Amino acid sequence: MAGLDTSGSNPDVSLLFDINGLTEHSPSWCDQAVRFLGEYGLPVLAVLLVLWCWWGVRRRGTLDAAASSVAAVVWAPLAAALAVGVNIPIRGFVERPRPFVDHKGLEVLEPGKTDFSFVSDHSTLTMAIGVSLFLAHRKLGLVGIGLAVVEGFCRVLMGVHYPTDVVGGFALGTAVALLLSPLFTALFTPVLRAVGRGRAGRLVWAGGGTDGTEDERGAAGEREPREADGAVRPARAGGDRDLAA
């Protein structure tokens, strides 16, 4: 069913032509850059941002804080995959053709698209990652959301999506990321906490590893110094007091 208006009087279509019309005055190299970024580059940058965020949140002060933050980071690609999966029946239900099918005169930078238009997978994926990262790291999350907005603009500029396809993708990605994040974090944080205490602990917490738990490492720092033969060296009374005094 064609559930969305595609007539020329629709503001959605007018905005499509306004944005896509920017390609009329841009050099060919710029069009190719937009095509690469919109199709491949920005999604790859979003994935790299996930790795960067994981590397950063591992350095949280305690194992508990690191485990919950890493769980939020792990949720980012899972939320993106789930949101794209949810979009499959939505596309089949709405059956909205690509804009270049119903509207002549568009400059299509990525020809050959034959699937339906609503909602945009690229916008859904990048926004789901950005919102999920925001739950783990505010600054990097805002960068991810910014990448998603640029991705959505590129998809319209390329002539392969209506603006409402992009907005729908943003809404879907945000909904999946926010609604299911608490459940996933609650279930997965204990698993990561256990990993953080094991041999692969540095994957979860930069202070982890094979040296034992957080409490054990703290206690180890308070042990009395020993001589070379292993005997405990008693602390001197008065510390470093001058013996000649």
Does the residue 243 lie in any domain? no
Q: What is the pTM of this model?
A: 0.80
C-beta of residue 217 within 8 angstroms of C-beta of residue 211: yes
- Predicted confidence at residue 65, as pLDDT, reads 92
Q: What is the extent of the structural domain holding 76?
A: 27-203
State which amino acid sits at residue 180: L
C-beta of residue 78 within 8 angstroms of C-beta of residue 187: no
Question: What are the residues facing 232 on neighbouring strands?
Answer: 226
- Number of structural domains (the chain) is 1
Does the residue 21 lie in any domain? no
Name every residue whose Cβ is closer than 8 Å to that of residue 130 and which is 6 or more positions away in sequence: 46, 141, 142, 143, 144, 145, 146, 147, 148, 173
Does the residue 89 lie in any domain? yes
Mean per-residue pLDDT, 18-30: 89
State which amino acid sits at residue 4: L
C-beta of residue 141 within 8 angstroms of C-beta of residue 50: no
Lowest mean pLDDT among 16-25, 113-122, 173-182, 220-229: 220-229
- Predicted confidence at residue 206, as pLDDT, reads 86
Interatomic CA distance for residues 105 and 216, integer angstroms: 69
Cis previous bond, 119, omega within 30: yes
Does the residue 199 lie in any domain? yes
C-beta of residue 120 within 8 angstroms of C-beta of residue 165: yes
Does the residue 151 lie in any domain? yes
Check which CATH number belongs to the domain holding 162 and give it. 1.20.144
Q: With 80 as the cut, is the pLDDT of residue 245 above it? A: no
Interatomic CA distance for residues 52 and 48, integer angstroms: 6
Does the residue 140 lie in any domain? yes
- Predicted confidence at residue 230, as pLDDT, reads 47
- Predicted confidence at residue 237, as pLDDT, reads 46
What would the pLDDT profile of 131-140 be if each residue is shown by its tens digit?
A: 999 999 999 9
Does the residue 244 lie in any domain? no
Does the residue 92 lie in any domain? yes
